[in-house]
């Protein structure tokens, strides 16, 4: 796919980036716990593009902060549709965790959108931590001081370092879709997933399974004691306008902010 920096500039002018919301459920109760926000680009010529195809490009051309800011304002605009205590999770790119001004920008967007940051989870891939751990630690601490929760994703898929779990104040550990995919066919995958869930539990982290497509996978994750899950079994990513139907179908009772 050929994209150039003019495409990105045009995308901001035409407001082509938008968020989708994928339900996350509490495996113990089966109730809706919140949504993960996933970016999409509705490209004027190419149609809707998935993030794996455009995030690296947007990042390379220096627009990743603008993208996150634009998404945050659209996400926070959808907040009235996401009643308390439901949570929202967002993904950030590695370089944003190494940007000392990032927490202030999140705080500003949340204030503008009147969103309480104790309902926001920030998902961080492990690769972000490898470049400059002291800076990543300081940005992570600042996000925590704003009451955001931090989730480590992709753990165990690349060059994992256990000390990241010790040195960064994570609240959640995500079990990667690649492990879930092989869960029912490959006994080694089940053992690895069991070890990840147990590691998370012993570190007092909420464990989240992603990419659950079948009941068998969900049942195994319940058996292993995983806390939260998302995947096509529970719901595909949807537009903000579809959130109320999901919320009312799962009977979330709205509480005070
Ligand atoms: P991720 O955070 O691991 O997101 C999960 C991906 O799995 C999403 O792909 C989602 O649509 C897909 N998925 C969810 N349930 C299932 C399932 O049951 N089966 C299968 N096969 N797939 C499922 P998507 O939306 O294409 O996002 C890909 C990645 O792009 C995300 O991975 C995340 O790392 C990144 N990303 C998404 N939005 C943003 C963003 O706003 N900023 C940054 N920096 N990265 C983003």
Question: How many angstroms separate the CA atoms of 130 and 107, rounded?
Answer: 25
pLDDT at residue 59 greater than cutoff 50: yes
pLDDT tens-digit series, residues 147-173: 999 999 988 787 777 888 888 999 999
Any atom of ligand 1 within 6 Å of the Cβ of 181: no
pLDDT at residue 251 greater than cutoff 90: no
pLDDT at residue 248 greater than cutoff 80: yes
Closest to 23 measured CA to CA, from 229, 225, 249, 257: 229
Atom of ligand 1 nearest to the CA of 212: 18
Residue 105 pLDDT: 95
Any atom of ligand 1 within 6 Å of the Cβ of 50: yes
Residue 129 pLDDT: 66
Residue 158 pLDDT: 75
Atom of ligand 1 nearest to the CA of 52: 30
pLDDT at residue 126 greater than cutoff 80: no
Specify the pTM. Answer: 0.94
Residue 95 pLDDT: 85
How far, in Å, from the CA of 39 to the mean position of ligand 1? 8
If one counts every other C-beta atom within 10 angstroms of the C-beta of residue 250, the result is 16
Residue 256 pLDDT: 41
Any atom of ligand 1 within 6 Å of the Cβ of 211: yes
Question: How many angstroms separate the CA atoms of 153 and 208, rounded?
Answer: 9
Query: pLDDT-based confidence at 128, cuts 50/70/90?
Result: low
Q: Which of 21, 127, 177, 221 to mutate to test the pocket of ligand 1 (most atoms within 8 A of CB)?
A: 177
Q: Which domains does the chain have, with CATH numbers?
A: 5-248 (3.20.20.450)
Give mean pLDDT, residues 99-114.
94
How far, in Å, from the CA of 42 to the mean position of ligand 1? 16
pLDDT at residue 1 greater than cutoff 80: no
Of residues 80 and 204, more confidently modeled? 204
* Ligand 1 atom 12, closest CA: 211
Give mean pLDDT, residues 132-141.
92
Could you give the percent of the chain with pLDDT greater than 90? 74
Q: At what angle do helices 102-112 and 64-77 cross, to 10 degrees?
A: 30
Atom of ligand 1 nearest to the CA of 123: 2
pLDDT at residue 92 greater than cutoff 90: yes
Could you give the percent of the chain with pLDDT greater than 70? 95
Give mean pLDDT, residues 91-96.
88
Any atom of ligand 1 within 6 Å of the Cβ of 237: yes
Closest to 30 measured CA to CA, from 234, 194, 248: 234
Question: How many angstroms separate the CA atoms of 35 and 23, rounded?
Answer: 4
Any atom of ligand 1 within 6 Å of the Cβ of 171: no
pLDDT at residue 255 greater than cutoff 70: no
* Mean pLDDT, all residues of the chain: 91
pLDDT tens-digit series, residues 207-241: 999 999 999 999 999 999 999 999 999 999 999 99
Contact 62, 3 (CB under 8 A): no
Any atom of ligand 1 within 6 Å of the Cβ of 176: no
pLDDT at residue 51 greater than cutoff 90: yes
């Amino acid at each position: 796919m050929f994209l150039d920096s003019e495409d990105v500039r045009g995308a901001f002018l035409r407001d082509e980036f938008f968020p989708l919301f994928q339900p996350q459920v509490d495996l113990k109760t089966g109730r809706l716990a919140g949504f993960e926000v996933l970016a999409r680009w509705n490209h004027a010529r190419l149609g809707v593009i998935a993030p794996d195809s455009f995030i690296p490009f947007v990042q390379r051309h220096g627009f990743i902060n603008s993208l996150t800011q634009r998404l945050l304002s659209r996400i926070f605009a959808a907040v009235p549709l996401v009643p308390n205590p439901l949570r929202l999770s967002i993904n950030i790119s590695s370089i944003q965790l190494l940007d000392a001004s990032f927490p202030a920008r999140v705080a500003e967007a949340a204030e503008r959108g009147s969103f309480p940051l104790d309902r926001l989870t920030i998902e961080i891939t492990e690769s972000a931590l490898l470049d400059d751990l002291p800076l990543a630690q300081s940005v992570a601490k600042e996000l925590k001081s704003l009451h955001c929760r931090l989730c480590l994703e992709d753990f165990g898929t690349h060059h994992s370092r256990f000390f990241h779990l010790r040195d960064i104040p994570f609240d959640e550990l995500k079990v990667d879709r690649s492990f879930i995919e092989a869960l029912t066919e490959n006994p080694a995958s089940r053992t690895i997933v069991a070890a990840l869930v147990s590691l998370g539990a012993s570190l007092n982290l909420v464990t989240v399974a992603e990419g659950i497509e079948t009941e068998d996978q969900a049942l195994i994750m319940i058996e292993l004691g995983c806390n939260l899950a998302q995947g096509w079994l529970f719901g595909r990513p949807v537009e903000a306008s579809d959130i109320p139907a999901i919320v009312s179908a799962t009977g979330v009772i709205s509480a005070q902010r």
